[in-house]
Amino acid sequence: MRPSVIKQKLGEGKPVFLTQLHLTDASVFEMVSVMGFDGIWMDLEHHGYSLETAENLIRSTRIGSADVLARPGKGEFMRMGRLLEMGAKGIMYPRCSNAEEAKMVVEWAKFAPLGKRGFDGSGADAFYTNIPIDEYVIDANNETFLIIQLEDPDSIKEAEKISAIDGVDAIMLGQADFSVLSCIPGQFDHPLVKDALKKVASAAANTGKHWACTAPSPDAAKELIELGARIVLHNADICILKEGFEKIRKDFSEAGFHFQNNQF
């Protein structure tokens, strides 16, 4: 089975770096993968493309080396299994409420004796039936990683119990949803957000697990690593494109060109 770059680096104590891709052009996934990024965050919680599209996007990353970290919606355990069979190496599970739910996520992502994942063996992760069943089950359990997101203020209180669940590789504060649910939308420097981040970091340290976080800049990433984070996620293709087009509009407006105001 194709090994996980992210699990290998984490095992060596090295930080890993991912970016998020929203657009459904396989060439973008392929480009990021061949450029040597550790992973690509694929978000099916908030985006409406099909599992068939997701499968082709995951397939395109195999040209390079990047892992795909796929996020299903809360409670979408069957979709989670299919994403793993398509070749996603990691699952980012959103809005986890407590340790019982985290344990359920592990059960659906891992084969026995670690969990209760259903067996098929005909997907990309098993090289289309080309891996013997006994080898495949062991490899899948070893190479699949789970990141559990804590986004509700109440779930932060459960951080250490969630992190302690066997099979959970990392926990992550979902800063955007946390800020919205805390009625401080977008205030990522607010004391409530900073305190929640410290609690997540402490919970991971106390249970011997990793923790993940988004970083708006290289300096912010360095600070997070100094705090103990080993999984850093930065930017998204749609934001990079928007920033690029905004710069073109600004530069050419100064050269005398007029752009229509289509803001609604």
The pair of three-digit structure tokens given for residue 204, joined into one six-digit string: 């991971």
Query: Do residues 127 and 68 touch, judged by C-beta distance below 8 A?
Result: no
In whole angstroms, what is the distance from residue 128 CA to residue 143 CA? Answer: 17
| 151 within domain boundaries | yes
First to last CA, the chain: 48
- Segment (H or E) for 57: helix 51-61
In whole angstroms, what is the distance from residue 117 CA to residue 28 CA? Answer: 31
- Summarised one tens digit per residue, pLDDT across range 163-194 is 999 999 999 999 999 999 999 999 999 999 99
- Summarised one tens digit per residue, pLDDT across range 38-74 is 999 999 999 999 999 999 999 999 999 999 999 999 9
- Summarised one tens digit per residue, pLDDT across range 143-166 is 999 999 999 999 999 999 999 999
CATH number at residue 145: 3.20.20.60
| 254 within domain boundaries | no
The tally of CA atoms less than 13 A away on the side-chain side of residue 152 is 9
What is the span of the domain harbouring residue 184? 5-237
| 57 within domain boundaries | yes
H helices then E strands: how many in the chain? 12, 8
Q: Is 219 exposed, middle or buried (0-12, 13-18, 19+ CB in 10 A)?
A: exposed
Q: Identify the band that residue 264 occupies on the pLDDT scale cut at 50, 70 and 90.
A: low
| 250 within domain boundaries | no
The overall average pLDDT reported for the chain is: 97
Count of structural domains within the chain: 1
Q: Identify the band that residue 123 occupies on the pLDDT scale cut at 50, 70 and 90.
A: very high
| 263 within domain boundaries | no
pLDDT at residue 263, rounded to an integer: 76
| 213 within domain boundaries | yes
Q: Identify the band that residue 204 occupies on the pLDDT scale cut at 50, 70 and 90.
A: very high
